[in-house]
Structure 1
Amino acid sequence: MATALSDEIDVLSKARRVLGGSYVAEPDEPYMCEAQQDYFRRLLMAWKRLILDASAGTLQQLQDGPIREPDLNDRASSETDWGIELRTRDRQRKLIAKIDSALRRIEEGEYGFCEVTGEPIGLGRLEARPIATMTVEAQEAHERREKISRDD
């Protein structure tokens, strides 16, 4: 069974395919130029649309009726599958809020820059995680601090 993270990655990959692939920067292109911002805006909007479409499908299936499996084991399996599906949709609902935040940062000219250091996040990291708000180094430091405070 697929995990929620792999579902998220699959949907992002599908959004990339809708756009025709990953962004390839020109050698002399400035960081977060209009072309890059436009690509990430379209990627984020396609990602969001695919998530909303999948959610609509889940909602339709829920409205079609309850689980009617005659065998108790089959019913338990179906209920477990639905539980996983609903948790995935809840995770994606939270992801939509992050996508909206990234779209807002594009409009405000802050997208692609670390919220902690102000340094460029980098196209590679943004391609892998378009909702990233920190550089890899800042994220690692944040996670170390978080782990230390949890251990106390």
Structure 2
Amino acid sequence: MNETATTSELLPTEAEIRKAPLKDYMSAAQQAFFRAKLIHERDELLDSAHRTTLHLQEFESTPDPSDRASLEEDHTLELRVRDRERKLLHKIDEALIRLDNGSYGWCEDTGEPIGIARLLARPTATLSVEAQEIHEARRKMRRG
């Protein structure tokens, strides 16, 4: 590999990750790929939160009560979205910790691989598809 190559050039592509043999599951290259993916997602969320903060600090005075109500509704919706993103930031930080301690990519319940396809779709996943389905079925039974 070229020593002047950037870090992203050294990472495998998503296509390479998808077709890697099972023996390569959570190899150093795959871990680096997911670390970069998680950090990128975290940076985007932080940037979005910063833009929201700036937007909410802009004072928009309007004498019309319906315009004011609409503006307040927009702000409430924006804050709800940011709260979901704050929770996702926490999950990203936890996933980065799992990458550091070697447990990333392994199901918390079964210890089996979560699977590349699932991690690509949801990099913060802690359960395999099967374990997640069981978890959700139990939750439904407790509610119902």
TM-score, normalising length: structure 1: 0.80
Aligned AA (1:22):
E
Alignment of 1:55-66 (within 5 A): 55-65=49-59
Question: Cα–Cα, structure 1 residues 21 and 90, in superposed 2: closer, same or farther, change >3 Å?
Answer: farther
The question of whether the paired residues in 1 share the 8 Å contact of 2:38 and 2:92 is answered with: yes
- Across the aligned residues of Structure 1 and Structure 2, the Cα RMSD in angstroms comes to 1.9
Aligned AA (1:49):
D
The question of whether the paired residues in 1 share the 8 Å contact of 2:56 and 2:75 is answered with: no
The question of whether the paired residues in 1 share the 8 Å contact of 2:62 and 2:68 is answered with: yes
Q: Does 1:92 align with 2:85?
A: yes
Question: Using the alignment, how far apart are the partners of 1:95 and 1:52 within structure 2?
Answer: 11
Aligned AA (1:110):
S
Alignment of 1:23-34 (within 5 A): 23-25=15-17, 26-28=19-21, 30-34=24-28
Question: Cα–Cα, structure 1 residues 51 and 27, in superposed 2: closer, same or farther, change >3 Å?
Answer: closer
Q: Does 1:37 align with 2:31?
A: yes
SS of match in other structure, 2:14: coil
Query: Among 93, 111, 134, which residue is 1:141 paired with?
Result: 134
The question of whether the paired residues in 2 share the 8 Å contact of 1:23 and 1:39 is answered with: no
Bigger radius of gyration among the two: 2
Runs (4 or more) in structure 1 with deviation over 4 Å come to: none
The question of whether the paired residues in 2 share the 8 Å contact of 1:112 and 1:133 is answered with: yes
What percent identity do the matched residue pairs reach? 49
Aligned AA (1:127):
L
Number of matched residues?
132
Runs of 5+ unmatched residues, structure 2: 1-10
